[in-house]
Amino acid sequence: MKEFFTIIGMIFLLEFADKTQLAAISFATRQNPIMVYLAVVLGLSLATIISVAIGKVIGMALPTKYIKLVAGILFIVVGIWTIISK
């Protein structure tokens, strides 16, 4: 159960104020908020299902330490690219 709440906390923190949330705010300014909520939930659910399926396949093919290493490197590269790009 601890892992479940850890995942909830991490996803919440990582998704908070990201571009998806900003788009939802923008849509809610001119659309029915209930419709926007349901559409966002469905869209994020579909994206998450695909991510989990890909993660499961990769997890069966590679050791976890390599997956963590590649993910960490990608986060660092994207962060640096974000800082230096115009």
Mean pLDDT by 10 residues, the chain (86 residues): 93 85 93 96 96 94 94 93 86
How far apart, in whole angstroms, are the C-alpha atoms of residue 62 and residue 55?
Answer: 10
Instruction: Give me the pLDDT at residue 13, please.
Output: 87
**What is the model's pLDDT at position 44?**
94
Structure confidence at residue 16 (pLDDT) = 82
Residues belonging to the chain:
86
DSSP of 16-59: TTSHHHHHHHHHHHHS-HHHHHHHHHHHHHHHHHHHHHHHHHHH
Q: Are 70 and 54 in contact (CB under 8 A)?
A: no
Q: Which helix (H) or strand (E) holds 73?
A: helix 64-84
